[in-house]
Structure 1
Amino acid sequence: MTTTRFAPSPTGYIHIGNLRTALMNYLIARKAGGSFILRIDDTDPERSKEEYVDGIKRDLEWLGLHWDRVDRQSARLDLYEAAAQKLRDMGRFYEAFETPTELDLKRKKQLNMGKPPVYDRAALALSEAEKERLRAERGNGVWRFKLNHARIEWDDGILGDISIDAASVSDPVLIRGDGQVLYTLASVVDDTEMGVTHVVRGSDHVTNTATQIQMIEALGGTLPVFAHHSLLTGPQGEALSKRLGTLALRDLRAQGVQPAALLSLMARLGSSDPVELQTDMAALIDGFDISHFGSAPTKFDAEDLYPLTARYLSGLPLEAVAEEVSAAGVPDDKAEEFWAVTRENIRTLKDLGGWWTLMQNGAEPQIDAEDADFVAEALALLPEPPFDAETWSTWTAEVKAQTGRKGRGLFMPLRKALTGQAHGPDMSALMPLLQVVKAGR
């Protein structure tokens, strides 16, 4: 059975980059009728927080990305220790004691000599007495996995054929001096034990994948299919990493972005398929193909979410937004008419309040200097509220007859005078809801 996983660290809220990974893994599992695992990477007790665990679950549920099982790595520490001991017994796991300063000096020396800045495995030459002395002086060392210096190759689901010389990579640290198990080891153990068949993650993990392939093989596991998606950039190609804190899903939700807009964009962004609004998860799943994605950095612009959100909202019946319409102050007897007028003229549901305020209190008019006399003459012909569905056509016909204006020169100045905007709902439909006109009254 196809099994995928999403393994976030609960050290913050899910951002748009995390979502890309979660969504791809979810869609692969669902398209194959398989299983999607939510695995909380909470092996760092100092940085992991329950509020972030709750936030991760809340965001996924909001999007409709429902998991089949949830696991916490903090409850699986015994499994990681058993795997570590197995690697020790095989001679593939060793303790090293260099300080960060010493490692940095070694890297600089290697670079100056034109060599790859990889760990020199000096710890392998330490005697037991030397190790005991170093533990007494510095505390416990870190534990490194000893790579076989051979080429590591795999057929990546997005990048194609990958080949990495293990000699160009440092033996990875899997357990810190304080005993904390790092992601590289925990992930390998979990993927193997849980039967994960497909792993999709960012291209910044390619080197990690190479080392993990050797670890999986050493522990007797079955290699999953790996695919590494491109990293997101800003709309101008700038690094997105510094802005991810402002692109948390909870913030986008608070700004009114709809799940359908987020899912539709992120399921196609960076692929050869066009972005299309999908309101049905089944259609999104059916149309997903990981092989259609490329390796080039992918530009993401949060502004692209709003036209999709607007299109989604325009297709909703009143029942789907009744709570938000009521919260905007619209009485029940006006709700149907109000939604019919505004549904195609909002970016998000947060705009509803502004439209109801305009209808009840009038808008600050926009009157261009060259139209001031014309608008004043036209407003003198406008009857007092309440207006009805015929008011706009009757009034503009009379204004046309009196002033000789027609077309855009007639309608646009009047729209701007009544609504303060150059665009908006059909004025015939809006007028019955418009209670106050500020300009010239």
Structure 2
Amino acid sequence: MAEIVRFAPSPTGNIHIGNARPALINWLVAQKTGGQFILRFDDTDAERSRQEYADNIAEDLAWLGVTPDRVERQSARMEAYDAVAQKLKDMGRLYACYESADELDRKRKRQRARGLPPVYDRAALELNAEQIAAYEAEGRKPHWRFLLDQKSVTWEDGVRGTQSIECDSVSDPVLIREDGTYLYTLPSVIDDVDMGVTMVIRGDDHVTNTAVQIQIFELLTDKVPQFAHHNLIINASGEGLSKRLGSLSIRSMREDGYEPLSVAIFAVLNGTSESVQPLADMAALADLFALDKVSRSASKFDIADLVHLNARILHETGYDAVAGRLAALGIEGGEAFWHAVRGNIERLPDVKDWWSIAHEGLPEDAVEKDPADADFYARALALLPQEPWDETTWKSWTSALKSETGRKGKTLFMPLRVALTGRSHGPELAAFLPLIGYQRSVDRLS
């Protein structure tokens, strides 16, 4: 079945890898089923929503490879929400409440003290016209709650299996604030109905909201979408991710030089029965992913795991795929260079250090040569072949040096690596030596 799915971020900040997870999962489901992916901005909060964040979200998703079939804005659909809200009021399913936040808090505390669940007692349903007039004379404005059917709501979750919530243990939810603005619940359902959404895929922090939304769906339409609640990504200390954590934003990962494919793979496969592994492209990720592979346990984000995956992907990336990006870093015509160094980088910007070592000079923090190796370096310099050089030069040079000095293994190769690169580890010198060239090699061995 071709699924119509949606990702509905609030443009109140940049998205992070935890937000990317539902976006990617929804998009992959649409790709696998030949369906549609809707990017729907939940921008009804006029004070906090910003166009720049909406633009950034769209840009970040495009960088990940997620392209929407439709883009919608809830702020453009207020008339639709108002019409349904009035319908629910006329049906008696949306009712006005005048309690202040402090009054509600005191009421919950009294319920807890009596060992009762802090569920709203529906006192507002008992208000008469005189009481309502008195509240309004005080300047109070009502918030509006949805009158739940106090029944059990059951659905077959695409990730969690059979789920059931007893609605008599849930407070009637507030759908409209005192200032007349909507909480996300009602606009979300109305949009899903109007846009023909067939599957709602989101984080499992929304499980308890589902019973409420199913009841609203049943009032508005005879087609209730399927629900699937995936596990959340948490940080190393077990806390949920937040837009305030800029270091985990997709934008910062872009700026730090991570590959979009590695971020996408990590966001999707971490916390599933599949291992986090390099894949050729997003099509391969779509083939591998399925909702029934998602774990019910939270998925822990460890930057070291992403770095490792990113490195593995780069190590297998061909030159044509990075040529333009290398040029943007000031590295032109670097195919031989790329193949020499790609196995020793974790993120693409790391190539700049190796380019500098090959073509300019040793790094400021270069490992110093051991003075005890002075005679060895003199013999190495004497035996250094004249150019032209190729990938056979290293072997012929070190073979001659081995015969001359009797050194072998690490005692032969490590001093040369330190002298030539200023590093104790790095690219295979058979490929890297021709990039350094004869004159720089002479200077560094001297």
Counterpart for residue 398 of structure 2: 396
Q: In 2, are the aligned partners of 1:202 and 1:228 still within 8 Å (CA)?
A: yes
Counterpart for residue 127 of structure 1: 128
CA–CA distance in 1 between the matches of 2:269 and 2:92?
A: 45
CA-to-aligned-CA distance 1:376-397 (integer Å, 9 cap, x gap) = 5325532498672354334423
Q: In 1, are the aligned partners of 2:189 and 2:216 still within 8 Å (CA)?
A: yes
Query: Pairwise mapping of residues 369-408 of structure 1 onto structure 2 (< 5 A)?
Result: 371-374=370-373, 377-379=376-378, 381-382=380-381, 383=384, 388-389=389-390, 390-408=392-410
Counterpart for residue 97 of structure 2: 96
Q: In 1, are the aligned partners of 2:15 and 2:243 still within 8 Å (CA)?
A: no
Counterpart for residue 356 of structure 2: 357
User: Aligned AA for 2:419?
Assistant: A
SS at 2:182 equivalent: coil
1:360 is displaced (CA, Å) by 2.2
CA–CA distance in 2 between the matches of 1:185 and 1:242?
A: 24
Stretch of structure 1 that moved more, 227-236 or 379-388: 379-388
Query: Pairwise mapping of residues 13-412 of structure 1 onto structure 2 (< 5 A)?
Result: 13-235=14-236, 237-241=238-242, 244-332=245-333, 335-364=334-363, 365-367=366-368, 371-374=370-373, 377-379=376-378, 381-382=380-381, 383=384, 388-389=389-390, 390-412=392-414
TM (norm. structure 2) is 0.92
Structure 1 residue 419 and structure 2 residue 421: aligned? yes
Stretch of structure 1 that moved more, 98-107 or 259-268: 259-268
Alignment RMSD: 2.2
Q: In 2, are the aligned partners of 1:379 and 1:440 still within 8 Å (CA)?
A: yes
1:242 is displaced (CA, Å) by 8.0
CA–CA distance in 2 between the matches of 1:242 and 1:72?
A: 20
SS at 1:37 equivalent: strand
1:291 is displaced (CA, Å) by 1.0
Gaps of 5+ in 1: none
SS at 2:148 equivalent: coil
Q: In 2, are the aligned partners of 1:87 and 1:219 still within 8 Å (CA)?
A: no
Counterpart for residue 10 of structure 2: 9
CA–CA distance in 2 between the matches of 1:50 and 1:347?
A: 34
Percent of aligned pairs with the same amino acid: 49
Q: In 1, are the aligned partners of 2:120 and 2:172 still within 8 Å (CA)?
A: yes
User: Aligned AA for 1:121?
Assistant: R
Gaps of 5+ in 2: none
CA–CA distance in 1 between the matches of 2:319 and 2:239?
A: 41
CA-to-aligned-CA distance 1:99-154 (integer Å, 9 cap, x gap) = 11111111111111111111111111111232232123233211110111111211
User: Aligned AA for 1:426?
Assistant: E
CA–CA distance in 2 between the matches of 1:358 and 1:387?
A: 20
Question: How has the CA–CA distance of structure 1 residues 28 and 384 changed in structure 2, closer, same or farther, with 3 Å as cutoff?
Answer: same
Question: How has the CA–CA distance of structure 1 residues 140 and 409 changed in structure 2, closer, same or farther, with 3 Å as cutoff?
Answer: same
Question: How has the CA–CA distance of structure 1 residues 197 and 103 changed in structure 2, closer, same or farther, with 3 Å as cutoff?
Answer: same
CA–CA distance in 2 between the matches of 1:361 and 1:194?
A: 58
CA–CA distance in 1 between the matches of 2:388 and 2:418?
A: 18
1:96 is displaced (CA, Å) by 0.9
1:245 is displaced (CA, Å) by 3.0
Q: In 2, are the aligned partners of 1:16 and 1:244 still within 8 Å (CA)?
A: no
CA–CA distance in 2 between the matches of 1:128 and 1:206?
A: 37
User: Aligned AA for 2:34?
Assistant: G
SS at 2:253 equivalent: helix
1:374 is displaced (CA, Å) by 2.3
User: Aligned AA for 1:344?
Assistant: G
User: Aligned AA for 1:429?
Assistant: A
CA–CA distance in 1 between the matches of 2:254 and 2:11?
A: 19
1:161 is displaced (CA, Å) by 1.6
User: Aligned AA for 2:356?
Assistant: T
SS at 1:366 equivalent: coil
Stretch of structure 1 that moved more, 310-319 or 93-102: 310-319
Stretch of structure 1 that moved more, 217-226 or 63-72: 217-226
Q: In 1, are the aligned partners of 2:231 and 2:298 still within 8 Å (CA)?
A: yes
User: Aligned AA for 2:395?
Assistant: S
CA–CA distance in 2 between the matches of 1:221 and 1:375?
A: 85
TM (norm. structure 1) is 0.93
CA–CA distance in 2 between the matches of 1:336 and 1:219?
A: 60
User: Aligned AA for 2:252?
Assistant: D
CA-to-aligned-CA distance 1:350-390 (integer Å, 9 cap, x gap) = 1121111111233254248xx54125532553249867235
SS at 1:95 equivalent: strand
CA–CA distance in 2 between the matches of 1:95 and 1:309?
A: 53
CA–CA distance in 1 between the matches of 2:195 and 2:132?
A: 36
Q: In 2, are the aligned partners of 1:329 and 1:356 still within 8 Å (CA)?
A: no
CA–CA distance in 2 between the matches of 1:375 and 1:291?
A: 63
Counterpart for residue 433 of structure 1: 435
CA–CA distance in 1 between the matches of 2:60 and 2:243?
A: 21
CA–CA distance in 2 between the matches of 1:34 and 1:194?
A: 13
1:31 is displaced (CA, Å) by 1.0
CA–CA distance in 2 between the matches of 1:28 and 1:13?
A: 24
1:168 is displaced (CA, Å) by 1.4
CA–CA distance in 1 between the matches of 2:374 and 2:105?
A: 74
Q: In 1, are the aligned partners of 2:357 and 2:421 still within 8 Å (CA)?
A: yes
CA–CA distance in 2 between the matches of 1:13 and 1:270?
A: 23
Q: In 2, are the aligned partners of 1:234 and 1:240 still within 8 Å (CA)?
A: yes
CA–CA distance in 1 between the matches of 2:375 and 2:181?
A: 75
CA–CA distance in 2 between the matches of 1:320 and 1:213?
A: 46
Question: How has the CA–CA distance of structure 1 residues 329 and 376 changed in structure 2, closer, same or farther, with 3 Å as cutoff?
Answer: farther
CA–CA distance in 2 between the matches of 1:379 and 1:14?
A: 57
User: Aligned AA for 2:134?
Assistant: R
